[in-house]
Structure 1
Amino acid sequence: MTPHHPVGSREDDLGTPDDLTSYDADVFTLDPKVMAQAEAPVIVMDSHGVPLFANKNAVGFAKGIRDGLFPEIYQLIRRTLTTPGGVVEMMTFEVQRGTATLELTALPTTNNQVMILPRDVSMDRNLREALIDSRQRYRDIVEVSSAFAWETDESGKFIFVSPRGALGYRADDIVGRFPKNFLLDTADQDSEHVFRSQKAVRDVPVWFRRSNGKDACLSVSSTPVYSRDGRWTGTRGLAHDITEQRRRESEVATARNRDRLMTYIVRTMRDEIDPLLVLKGASEASTRALACSNCIIFKRNDETDELEVAAGGDSKDVNDIAQQALNQLLGDGETFDAHVGDFRIYALRCHYHQRNNGAVIFMFSADHPEPTDGERAIMTEVSDQVGIAIEQAIQHERILTLSRTDGMTGLLNRRAFFEELKRRHSRLQRESAPAALMYVDMDNFKLVNDIHGHQAGDEAILALTRVLQENVRPADLIARLGGDEFVLWLEGADIAAASERARLLMNESAVLRQYSGDKEHPLGISVGIAVHEPDSKESLQQLVQRADQTMYQVKKRGKGRFGIAAAPGSDDPAKIED
């Protein structure tokens, strides 16, 4: 095609807008061969929408129009013929592979015909729609999640935050400010650096302060932003609120640590068989597990009903402070938490079946921080376990008492007496000190039972028990061997002291006569004594035998008397006195 210039124009005037809009018919003369070989699709149609010509790249589309597959074209033809300058329209058609979107440029030509230049924009449109969808999807995910998007500039200021804001702040409250204005620790430069990082970072925990002043833990991921020339211009990323997750993780860790410590404490307690040693083990294990200064355990005395130190009381000062804390606890309620002296005290009552049977006093140094919820839970569990252990100790003591005492009188029984006597006799051998073994037997006791009955006999036995208990010292031993037979161990008593004690008992035993079976057979006592002399090598068995033989000799001489055995190895008879 040869350009043709309008008459009166100059070639150097073509650069002006007026000249460019000037035209004549020769300017638009197109060579049909060029149209047929053009790479761009070209179709010429008549006014009825019938294809008259299609080049090689438009043949398929033209055939589809001719076959009636694209009826939308007919409306396009009509609009083109009535629209000066033609029509440019986007149309989407159903094809075998799905849909195709074409940009159709329709130009009216001479002879009431239309030239259509189709351009397939399916890929462009799909990419654009995918990009729009992707952006919307990202926007939706950010909006519905607890994360918020952010971006900072080179100075580190926020220049963008998700429109809904974050942590109770509006977006406008954050934009234009530095991250350090919201950090829990404003001196934490490492956390602030995440928002200015020139390298991608992922899931960095950062502690922020919420608008209401409470703490918030954020998991921050960021990536640097660069200009087209490679210059760093800022950082953008996401921040996800993981405060609740951290709280749950902390609770789980605390629970695991509590279980670990309680397992250690309970295992230490279970390793002991003696209940009192169980309490000692609980005190020591709790002291180590909780890093406290002392753990004092009080146990209720089954006889006096008073709380007494059972474990952990290693010094008077500590015991005094523990006693003060105990008094406060008993007056305040179930727990007591305060500073006493140089210690921070946390005290709890112990129970078994709703009955208070003791207390645990945890003593921390004065500068020890306030116990955490986890530590308080451990101390509560320890008090529960100690409550059970105390009850076991009480029951153990009861069983031990029953096994060592006479059921009627409460005195030591035969087994317990001789177990203790064996220990004391061994000590005498080392210390070279005197002592006296005294057998006491009731006279005419059988008549009491036969005439007045066994209840009167029991009352007589209890009366003699009182006489013996009221006339011995704390260091002495008293036991009922069975029936009307009793035995005493007089610690440190020589012959003179033993004789004096015997006379006293003979006089005091006059109270027994009121229980006599008859006047001819008054109820009284006979006493046989064997004295262990200092430096004596006499065995315990020999000592017992001498006391027993002396009792036999006293009974044989007429009862109501006391006798002192001759020295060991002597053939002399016992010295018997009224």
Structure 2
Amino acid sequence: MNTQPSSPVPDSSPSDQDTELMNALLASRRRWKSLTQLVADFIFETDEESRFTFFEAAPAMGWADQDLLGEPSSRLLPFVASTAAPNPFQTHAVMRGRRCWIKQGDGSFSCMLIYATPLLSPTGQHSGVRGLGIDVSDEVNANADLAVARLHSEIVRRITATMRSRALSRLGIPPAFEELATMLGAAGGLLLAPANAMEEGTEPAEEEDIVHRIPSSMPAFDAAMEQILREIDGESSFNPEIRQIDGHDVIICRSRVRYNAPVTMALWRNSLGVWSQDDANLADAALATVASALEMSALNQALARNARFDPLTGILNRNGFQGEIARRFPRLDRERLSGTLLVIGLDRFSEINARFGFEAGDSALQQVATYLRDAIRPTDLAGRLGGDIFGLWLDGADHFVAAERAEAFCQHGAAIFLTEPVTLTFSVGLAARDWETGESVESLIDRATFAMRSVKLAGGARWHTSLEESSP
């Protein structure tokens, strides 16, 4: 019996094969998706026209999975046309770790590392791109902050080194301010610090509160800025700020200074929107360094003042009194003028301490110092030579003028107020100096002191003149 060979029965139909292939592809995509989601913040596929065929992102990006399907990739990369780098969503070559700023759903941008590979059709034609993105915004921002911090540190270091290169820290402030202005590209600047208290016997300095000025090409604006800084209220904020004044961007900073009032600084450029908050923070950090130098200068001046002035009464101490008188001798000799020294002792001052106490005695000395200082001209000098002994130098006064002053002191004494009113009497010794003798200040003080002691031994409340002149 003839039999027909049986025809082979196919395992599956063509449609079944297509279904299996599609399922394999979907399973492959699911595996790829699950793996990439472990490290990526978004994954994507695009077609040959750079439209998204698949997109899934972390919730932080603000895009729903369906929002971008069919949309051009330019929605995520709006600035790609203005850059020379290739578009990572339509690349024809494998891309590894390219940094791109990707637009988020809320309109802000995140820095992403893009890894992408091109997709090819069965014929080898470019048919799209598959890839992923990893958000590195925190790292980029941290690196930017670190770079700014390093720049600030270097600039402050250079400013500090500039100030330390000068013998006195205050002398280093102007060149340091110039260097800061140059590094920030400022067109002009002004640094104001309160003037130090005037010391007795010194002449006032012009513009003593202007530490340094950097003039710009617009003197009128410079003058306006000076007026603005002078009008800043003492209660104003100490945070650096950027103001826009008459078409200029202006940084204004204030810093507290121990031992003195705050210091104020302004830097400006000749346009708007050119300063950043980083610039203002840098200027503020530099000003803090300047403030430290001003504090040190004020402290040194306070120490120098304490070396010349009596801390109890505020008038010159013995060394300061002698030094200031000696400093005036050359001028008096050139002008052929005399000068007279009065050494004044308080009569029975020990009774004040015994009756009212030592604090009352200190108060009595302070009141007497004020009385004597107010009784002389601004060009004269008052000093405490020690204990209850005071000195007055009458600049350019001869013996007769000084005798009239001494007579008034002895007749009226000094009315002071303790727990009850008290009148103190004086014993006064005079010593006149003629310009021809060249007598020293030490000799003058010795003569006037000897005359004062002779009055005390006689009962006080009188004055006496030393007529003998010692050798210079």
TM-score range, shorter chain: 0.5 to 0.7
> Does the 8 Å CA contact 2:102/2:112 hold for their aligned counterparts?
yes
Cα distance between partner residues in 2 of 1:315 and 1:284? 7
Structure 1 residues 226 and 396, CA gap change in structure 2 (3 angstroms)? same
Find out whether 1:185 has 2:79 as its counterpart: yes
Of 307, 325, 341, the match for 1:439: 341
Query: In the alignment, what sits opposite 2:412?
Result: 511
In the TM superposition, residue 471 of structure 1 has moved relative to its aligned partner by 4.4
Please give the alpha-carbon distance, in whole angstroms, between the structure 1 residues aligned to 2:284 and 2:213. 23
Q: Identify if the C-alpha distance between structure 1 residues 457 and 191 changes in structure 2 by more than 3 Å, giving closer, same or farther.
A: closer
Q: Which residue in the other structure is 1:16 paired with?
A: none
Distance 2:319 2:399 in 1: 26
Cα gap change, 1:380 to 1:247, in 2 (>3 Å): same
Q: Secondary structure at the match of 1:250?
A: helix
* 1:148 corresponds to: 43
- Pick the aligned partner of 2:385 from 481, 485, 499: 481
Shift of 1:158: 1.9
* Superposed displacement of residue 146, structure 1: 0.3
Structure 1 stretch displaced more, 458-467 or 193-202:
458-467
C-alpha offsets along residues 122-180 of structure 1, whole Å, 9 cap, x if unaligned?
A: xxxxxx99998765432212345203223342xx5325332559943455544544444
Question: Do the aligned partners of 1:441 and 1:484 also contact (CA within 8 Å) in 2?
Answer: no
Partner of 1:256: helix, strand, or coil?
helix
Q: Whole-Å Cα distance in 2 between the matches of residues 88 and 232 of structure 1?
A: 35
Residue in 1 that maps onto 2:402: 502
Q: Is the 8 A contact 1:406 1:480 kept in 2?
A: yes
Long gaps (5+) in structure 2: 13-21, 199-206, 417-423
Partner of 2:2: 24
Of all paired residues, the percent bearing the same amino acid is 18
Let me know the Cα RMSD of the aligned residues: 5.1
- Return the match for 1:312 from 199, 211, 214: 211
Q: Deviations over 1:288-312 (max 9, x none)?
A: 6655543635459789xxxx97673
1:453-464 to 2 correspondences below 5 Å: 462=366
What is the alpha-carbon distance in structure 1 between the residues aligned to residue 223 and residue 324 of structure 2? 30
Q: What's 2:150 paired with?
A: 256
Q: Which stretch of structure 1 is more off in the superposition, 392-401 or 523-532?
A: 392-401
From the superposition, tell whether residues 413 and 279 of structure 1 become closer, same or farther in structure 2 (CA, over 3 Å): farther
Task: Name the residue aligned to 2:115.
Answer: 221
Q: 1:159 to 1:315 in 2, by over 3 A?
A: closer
Spell out the pairing of 1:66-77 with structure 2 (5 A cutoff): none
Answer yes or no: is the 8 Å Cα contact 1:179–1:192 preserved in 2.
no
Q: TM-score, normalised by structure 1?
A: 0.57
Preserved CA contact (<8 Å) 1:225 1:236: yes
**Contact 1:528–1:551 at 8 Å: present in 2 too?**
yes
- Deviations along 1:328-380, one digit per CA (max 9) or x if unpaired, are 4535444473345656143345277xx99524434333536475454455456
Equivalent in the alignment of 1:201? 95
Deviations 1:399-452 (A, max 9, x none): 4433321233221112223444555556x49x9445544321236x45454698
Once the 2 structures are TM-superposed, how far is the Cα of residue 263 of structure 1 from its aligned partner? 4.6
Preserved CA contact (<8 Å) 1:349 1:356? no
Query: For residue 16 of structure 2, what is the aligned residue in structure 1?
Result: none
Given that residues 184 and 207 in structure 1 are in contact (C-alpha distance below 8 angstroms), is that contact kept between their aligned partners in structure 2? no
Asked if the contact 1:279/1:310 (under 8 Å) is kept, the reply is no
The one of 268, 271, 274 equivalent to 1:367 is: 271
Counterpart secondary structure, 2:93:
coil
- Count, aligned residues: 428
The partner residue of 1:157 within 7, 30, 50 is 50
Give 1:215 shift.
Answer: 1.9
Amino acid at match of 1:161: F
Tell me the equivalent position of 1:518: none
Which residue of the partner structure matches residue 440 of structure 2? 543
- From the superposition, tell whether residues 514 and 247 of structure 1 become closer, same or farther in structure 2 (CA, over 3 Å): closer
Residues 283 and 297, structure 1, Cα contact 8 Å, conserved in 2: no
Q: 1:131 to 1:165 in 2, by over 3 A?
A: same
Letter in 1 for 2:211: G
- SS at the partner of 2:140? helix
Partner of 2:104: 210
The alpha-carbon distance between structure 1 residues 242 and 130, as it changes in their structure 2 partners (threshold 3 A), is same
**Contact kept? 1:208, 1:217, Cα under 8 Å:** yes
Please give the alpha-carbon distance, in whole angstroms, between the structure 2 residues aligned to 1:290 and 1:227. 56
Counterpart in the other structure of 1:523: 426
Paired residue for 1:403? 307
Aligned equivalents of 1:479 and 1:383: distance in 2?
39
Counterparts of 2:463 and 2:70, CA distance in 1: 112
Matched, 1:560 2:463: yes
Going from structure 1 to structure 2, the CA distance change for 1:393 and 1:544 (only over 3 Å counts) comes to closer
Amino acid at match of 1:442: I
Per the alignment, residue 139 of structure 1 pairs with: 33
Partners in 1 of 2:344 and 2:51 — Cα distance?
Answer: 104
Q: Give yes or no for contact 1:157–1:175 (8 Å, CA) kept in 2.
A: no
1:347 is matched with 253
Distance 1:252 1:548, change over 3 A: closer
The change in CA–CA distance for 1:169 and 1:549 in structure 2 (over 3 A counts) is closer
Matched, 1:532 2:429: no
Q: Distance in 2 between matches of 1:564 and 1:135?
A: 118
TM-score, normalization: structure 2? 0.67
Residue-by-residue CA offset, 1:44-103 (whole Å, 9 max, x unaligned): xxxxxxxxxxxxxxxxxxxxxxxxxxxxxxxxxxxxxxxx9999999xxxxxxxxxxxxx
Judged with a 3 Å threshold, the aligned counterparts in structure 2 of structure 1 residues 531 and 546 are, in CA distance, closer, same or farther, namely farther
The one-letter code sitting in structure 2 at the alignment partner of 1:151 is T
Contact 1:441 1:485 in 2 (8 A): yes
The question of whether the paired residues in 1 share the 8 Å contact of 2:178 and 2:214 is answered with no
1:452-500 CA distance string (max 9 Å, x none): 8597986775565345423444444332222455445556x3xxx4456
Secondary structure of the residue that 2:413 maps to in structure 1? Answer: helix
Q: Which of 189, 196, 214 does residue 294 from structure 1 map onto?
A: 189
In 2, the alpha carbon distance for the partners of 1:527 and 1:447 equals 20
Q: Residues 49-68 of structure 1: matches in 2 within 5 Å? A: none
Structure 1 residues 88, 221: closer, same or farther in 2, change over 3 A? closer
C-alpha distance in 2 between matches for 1:436 and 1:314: 43
- 1:193-246 per-residue CA deviation (whole Å, 9 max, x = no partner) reads 444443333322222332321122232333444556555555444333333332
Higher relative contact order (CA 8 A, sep 6+): 2
Change (3 A) 1:545 1:528: same
| Alpha-carbon distance between aligned partners in 2 of 1:219 and 1:140, rounded to the nearest angstrom | 19
CA shift in 2, pair 1:339/1:298, >3 Å: farther
User: CA contact under 8 A between 1:269 and 1:278: conserved in structure 2?
Assistant: yes
